[in-house]
A and B are shown apart, each in its own frame.
Chain A
């Protein structure tokens, strides 16, 4: 179900206009206060834009003198706080959507059981929300949103409040359920965008400052915020011995969030600031080392981003001078396995 949105929200100074295609996942990135959550609230029917128009499939959500109330929109919203109904147990929470849609008690329960297994939380079915950890509660939140069979799924920083140790597994689960689903995810983590979204919209001070295919925006950000969050090194290939074998033959070691079977497609992700640059092959502790040629040197704040064909490194100006780096220099780029995350 495709979404078209144009809206101005005066008291948050938001003015946006974008589309989401059927089956597409769009990530909205941006600093705090950029108006990302207001945009989701306007789509969900929680906040009333002054002007604008939104359609979801053939339905007008607002505009043309129409205001469709939240419960008729088919846009389930999950925020950083799962907000599970405290007086209902986990199964009743997940069954809430189907029940509200008029399905029978038995049908709703079986739908709840199905969605709980989809988020790997079947064993939590009989617990009360107060007995769950933050990560567990958020899994149930995802199941509850999906059980409502939304035409458009809205995720507002779903992992922002979670303990960092549970984020990788949660991200993996969200990636799985977003497959072929029309969804918008608001995040300030480039990794979410890189792994979950087909397309990225960058917002700043209530305006869209940049949008495009995820890999384009992250590789060549044109906005200041885009540059700050982007530049993640992504090396894709197939899984091998808990690492990733890239098409050019390099093997990248890293930490896996969840076990990945050999020969599955996998991606290794690491930050440029975790990469060191050498002129000679480094020796010592086990590291990933890639031989490359410098293509570009780009100042970013007090640092310099050293770009090569595939991997970028952020190093100090002093180090650049010390190594006498310039485009065309042959270098060895090294990153510790513990700094690399590997995802299926």
Chain B
């Protein structure tokens, strides 16, 4: 298609709109003390907590998301469209609302609160709550990415594998998953990124206790009041992580079969 020339104007404006804030932030970084700013005790604690919880959330997204994507892509049942819409809900829901919903589910007075209490667990305002909040918002990325990969891969190889005598579990392990591995990897990377950036649901459901629930985004938000230079430096760290994530996803996509 021949693109009309005038579309270059809004395109340029749009691109500038995305890039300028990053440039503006990078320009505000106090490079001289950059490393001391991002390696303060509270920063390192927050970064370490973020990486740990995001990693656990990503594993949970894989464990829950792979079966969900399989059921959505490979079976047909009544109400499937409805189920798919609900799975996607956390994607469009304001994270704060998600946090409140989680609070009334796992909180002390929540729906499952008493059950959880009996088990001797206190979920709200703990590191577990951080992981739950992150998994809640990141899971749709895993499901959507993998369901797309499964539909693209099609069922032809799975059918052949079955006629060769492979049980459904063998087909899943030896044919389906290896074929959608790039989609699975992309989903995992996107889930990790979403978990790492999670703020609203976390602060609502898990609070902001240093070393327990104060992840990097929460730390940045607090530092902005007391030490704007540290906030900017830490923000830049997250930008770098985001860029790496995009690179990883593009890498896995382009090596897709």
Q: Do A and B come from one complex?
A: yes
On A, residues with C-beta under 8 Å from B are 44-46, 69-77, 81, 83, 85-87, 96-97, 99-101, 144-145, 148, 154
Contact A100 B159 (CB under 8 A): no
Can you report 8 A-B residue pairs in the complex whose CB atoms are below 8 A from each other?
A72-B165, A76-B163, A83-B157, A87-B178, A97-B165, A100-B164, A100-B165, A100-B166
Contact A75 B156 (CB under 8 A): no
Contact B168 A87 (CB under 8 A): no
Contact A101 B165 (CB under 8 A): yes
Contact A86 B257 (CB under 8 A): yes
CA distance A77 to B165 in the complex (A): 11
Contact B159 A71 (CB under 8 A): no
Asked if B162 is at the interface (CB within 8 A of a chain A CB), the reply is: yes
CA distance A75 to B175 in the complex (A): 19
Fill in one digit per residue for B125-166: 1 if any A CB lies within 8 Å of its CB, else 0.
000000000000000000000000000000011011111111
Contact A85 B157 (CB under 8 A): yes
Partner of B161, one of A72, A86, A100: A100
- Residues from chain A with Cβ under 8 Å of B175 in the complex: 85
With A85-B175, A86-B179, A87-B178 known as contacts, the answer to whether A145 contacts B164 (CB < 8 A) is yes
Q: Name the residue on B nearest A83 (C-beta).
A: B160
Contact A76 B164 (CB under 8 A): yes
Contact A97 B164 (CB under 8 A): yes
CA distance A77 to B164 in the complex (A): 8
Contact B163 A77 (CB under 8 A): yes
Distance in angstroms from B221 CB to nearest chain A CB is 44
CA distance A44 to B162 in the complex (A): 9
With A70-B159, A86-B179, A96-B174 known as contacts, the answer to whether A148 contacts B257 (CB < 8 A) is no
CA distance A148 to B157 in the complex (A): 15
Asked if B170 is at the interface (CB within 8 A of a chain A CB), the reply is: yes
CA distance A215 to B174 in the complex (A): 44
With A44-B163, A76-B163, A85-B175 known as contacts, the answer to whether A71 contacts B168 (CB < 8 A) is yes
Partner of A45, one of B156, B163, B164, B166: B163
- Residues from chain A with Cβ under 8 Å of B160 in the complex: 77, 83, 85
Contact B163 A75 (CB under 8 A): yes
Partner of B166, one of A71, A83, A87: A71
CA distance A77 to B160 in the complex (A): 7
Q: Name the residue on A nearest B160 (C-beta).
A: A83
Partner of B163, one of A46, A81, A85, A99: A46
CA distance A74 to B178 in the complex (A): 25
Having A46-B162, A85-B174, A100-B170, one finds 12 other A-B pairs with CB under 8 Å, namely A46-B163, A70-B163, A71-B163, A71-B168, A74-B165, A77-B160, A85-B160, A86-B257, A96-B161, A96-B164, A100-B161, A101-B165
- Residues from chain B with Cβ under 8 Å of A72 in the complex: 165
Asked if B167 is at the interface (CB within 8 A of a chain A CB), the reply is: yes
With A86-B257, A87-B179 known as contacts, the answer to whether A71 contacts B162 (CB < 8 A) is yes
Q: Name the residue on A nearest B168 (C-beta).
A: A71
Fill in one digit per residue for B218-257: 1 if any A CB lies within 8 Å of its CB, else 0.
0000000000000000000000000000000000000001
Distance in angstroms from B205 CB to nearest chain A CB is 41
CA distance A69 to B161 in the complex (A): 12
CA distance A144 to B163 in the complex (A): 11
- Residues from chain B with Cβ under 8 Å of A86 in the complex: 179, 257
- Residues from chain A with Cβ under 8 Å of B257 in the complex: 86-87
Q: Name the residue on A nearest B162 (C-beta).
A: A70
The 3 closest A-B pairs by CB, nearest first: A100-B166, A70-B162, A97-B164
CA distance A100 to B158 in the complex (A): 13
CA distance A83 to B157 in the complex (A): 6
With A87-B178, A96-B174 known as contacts, the answer to whether A71 contacts B167 (CB < 8 A) is yes
Distance in angstroms from B163 CB to nearest chain A CB is 4
- Residues from chain B with Cβ under 8 Å of A45 in the complex: 162-163
Fill in one digit per residue for B157-194: 1 if any A CB lies within 8 Å of its CB, else 0.
10111111111101100110011000000000000000
Q: Name the residue on B nearest A74 (C-beta).
A: B165
Partner of B164, one of A46, A69, A144: A144
CA distance A45 to B159 in the complex (A): 9
